[in-house]
Amino acid sequence: MAPKPKELVSADLQLKRESGLCFNMGENGLCCIHSEVLSFDAYVEDEVPDKSQEKYRIRFYKIFFYLEDDTIQVTEPVVKNSGLRQGTFIRRRRISLPPPDDDQFYTVYHFNINIDIVFYGWTFKIYDCDVFTKNFLKKIGIKLNPPGECPEDPYMKTWRQKLDCIQPLRPYESFDTLKQFLEYDRKVLRFFCLWDDSASLFGDRRELILLYFLSDDTIEIKELLPHNTGRDAMPFFLQRRKLPKYGPPGIYQPGAITDRVVLNLYSGLAENPVYGYLLDKCKLGKSEQEFYKDSDLSIGTTINVWGRKVLLCDCDEFTKTYYKTKYGIENFTSIPWKATSPPKIERKFPPYTGFGSEEDSLRSCIGLVPMPRPNLGNFRKFMEKDSYGNISNILRFFAKLITHKCADVDRLFIISYFLSDDTISVFEPIERNSGNAGGKFLKRMRVKKPGQEVFKSELSEYIKVEELYIGATVNVNGYLFLLLNADEYTLKFMEKNSEKFPFSNLELALQKLKDEKSKSREIKQVFRDADPAFTKMVDYNTFRDIVMAITVGKLIEQELITIARHYGVLEDPCPDINNLIAMAHEQLKKNFFENFERLIYSCVYQDREKKNVLPSKDIKRLCKSSRLPLTDDLLGALLSKFEDNKKQINYKSFFCVLNWRKHPVPELVAISPVKERCEDMWLGMPSPIPTKYINYFQLLKDVYGLEEE
């Protein structure tokens, strides 16, 4: 198609300006119209072969013509349940004219009302358009044809007539359940029920939970199965549905149970019979069926669940509130519905055979097949009380063997109790020239209490940790041990867990002293006589003699040590300077370090003011750079002993003291820790010393409330 002359283009632009269209001028002087679309209504007669119900089908379309680029789009409105693929029929594009003018494209001048237009061989019959399209076509000089008639689809016409007969308007019955659903959605009544089926063969009492859904009046029942009941765990005892009152109601024909009664219309033997349906207003022949409602359910009521008599015994709080609000019911006395537990049958096991441990023999009696794995005991206790890090979970006691043999009177032992598995091991410290080999006395094992029968059905009792305390006598496989003392970890553990170790409870021990409050003046005078200098402290042996005399044997050694540890006077933790120098000389000798003169020369070089002193941090850095073979803790302790108030050190005197060649000191003598802990035992004292001095004044103040004179 040849382009229009400039005069026609100017006329078109003038018409589009008068119609209020938006346009822009291009480079070639032509206009571009935006956002303006012409809409036409059309239909197509689509043939339907091989079908007796319809010969052709009427399909409706929308034809859109875009003025900005003369493109065309054809869409078919979607009809519900049509079974046809609908939507976009021809995508937006420029469409050429039918042959022989297929070298040209459709323009706005080719469109009008009540005409046929061909797109790709499809004949579209335009029968109408919208108001905007009519106004636009009139302004550009196109004379519009009168609107055409839109034919009706013959199949839809027949189907609509049938629907009018099938769904009559009168009589009309409404079944509106939306209001009930919106009001009671997620609101459920819960009853605890019992079905007693014990009268039947192999029957028993069944515990049930009935759920009544207020949104649609349906009922769901679940069963509570106890452990080892032998029944299959089914998800529902009764699936959610309406429950008839008189069930089972029998078998109905299809369509017998319905909300509406429908009558078939019969027109006789007429030439043009009319087929239709009509609702029966009188509902003659309708099958009535009653279902359980919320008003039929209450505690103590027996309902029929498809032939099973179920008793409602109790309900939850929401159900009680619902019936109290709606029906004014106040009595919700529950009925016992839990089945009584059967009598427990005591299992009797055969006596112990003597082979293996008692636990292993018992495991072979529990099952038919002997268990290959050994008894692991309390695994959780083992994991919690096993040793990790610096927490050993091992209680160690120093003990003495109680015997009449003179050779064994002075033998000392270390008894270890393992909290992870309640086992005990006994170790004898090796002592030279004692006549005893020492070492392991009893391997780690659980120790039975004495006086028990060996071959019996019950498990034996073993020594427990609560039976171990200072002053107790322990029978270990026939050997009697007197517990003399314990290590620091054991004493702290017992004081921390005083509910299991009552003799380590400070309050209980002090209560025995408070019982002697009538003798408070005499007690005060006794302590004053033992402390003539009024230092408010006495040694442990004096304190023990006084307290034991006051309580007349009411306190045991464990309680006395607990009081002494609480009121003991702390010793100076700083070691003696002579011991520090001896330790330093020992390390220097082992490493053959003798470069002390060189260290002094280095200090003199750094001492610019010639005061023979340097800061301690400079001397420490010099020792590190010279690789002085001393540990950081030992070097820091030595420097702190030589510091003045300004944290400066006389380097000449410091390195001269460290010179083990020119200024030797006596070597340290290693002392056995067991000997040191039990030193008073060798002297004939009844117990070792936990602390050297006791602050008796604070003790008297806490117990008797005595004030300082």
**Residue 114 belongs to some domain of the structure:** yes
Same domain, yes or no: 190 and 323: yes
Looking at residue 329, its pLDDT comes to 92
Last residue of a domain, one of 459, 479, 500: 500
**Is 388 within 8 Å of 394 (Cβ atoms)?**
no
Provide the number of structural domains found in the chain. 4
Whether 239 and 150 map to the same domain: the answer is no
**122 and 211 assigned to the same domain:** no
Residue 519 lies in a domain: yes
Cα–Cα distance between 193 and 209 in angstroms, integer?
6
Which residue stretches of the chain have pLDDT < 70?
Answer: 1-34, 164-174, 255, 266-277, 285, 370-377, 571-575, 668-688, 706-709
pLDDT of residue 182: 92
Residue at 641 is within a domain: no
Does 58 map to a domain?
yes
DSSP string covering 472-483, please? -EEEETTEEEEE
- CB burial string 644-671: b at 16+ within 10 A, e below: eeeebbbbeebbebbbbeeeeeeeeeee
Length of the chain: 709
Q: How far apart are CA 705 and CA 709, in angstroms?
A: 13
Distance, in Å, from the CA atom of 292 to the CA atom of 244, rounded to the nearest integer, reads 6
- Same domain for 140 and 195, yes or no, is no
Strands 31-33 and 37-47: unpaired
Shared domain check, 326 and 200: yes
- Do 477 and 555 fall into the same domain? no
DSSP at 513: H
The pLDDT of residue 71 is 95
Does some domain include residue 192?
Answer: yes
Same domain? 555 vs 698? yes
- Domain stops at, among 500, 527, 547: 500
Provide the 10 A C-beta neighbour count for residue 297: 18
- The pLDDT, as a whole number, for residue 675 is 38
> What is the C-alpha to C-alpha distance for residues 261 and 398, in angstroms, rounded to an integer?
99
Strands 479-486 and 394-402, bridge-based pairing: antiparallel
Q: Which domain holds residue 490?
A: 376-500
**pTM score > 0.85 for this model?**
no
Same-domain check for residues 154 and 206: no
pLDDT in tens, 528-580: 888 888 888 888 888 888 888 888 778 888 888 888 888 888 765 556 788 88
Report yes or no on 328 lying in a domain. yes
- Do 485 and 533 lie in one domain? The reply is no
Domain stop point among 458, 480, 500: 500
644-to-596, 641, 648 alpha-carbon distances in Å? 22, 9, 6
Residue 530 sits in the same domain as residue 491: no
Residue 646 falls inside a structural domain: no
The pLDDT assigned to 609 comes to: 84
- Domain membership of residue 325 (yes or no) is yes
Q: Report whether the peptide linkage leading into residue 248 is cis, meaning its omega lies within 30 degrees of zero.
A: yes
Do 484 and 538 sit in the same domain of this protein? no
**What CATH number has the domain bearing residue 115?**
2.30.29.170
pLDDT tens, residue by residue, 105-126:
999 999 999 999 999 999 999 9
152 and 194 assigned to the same domain: no
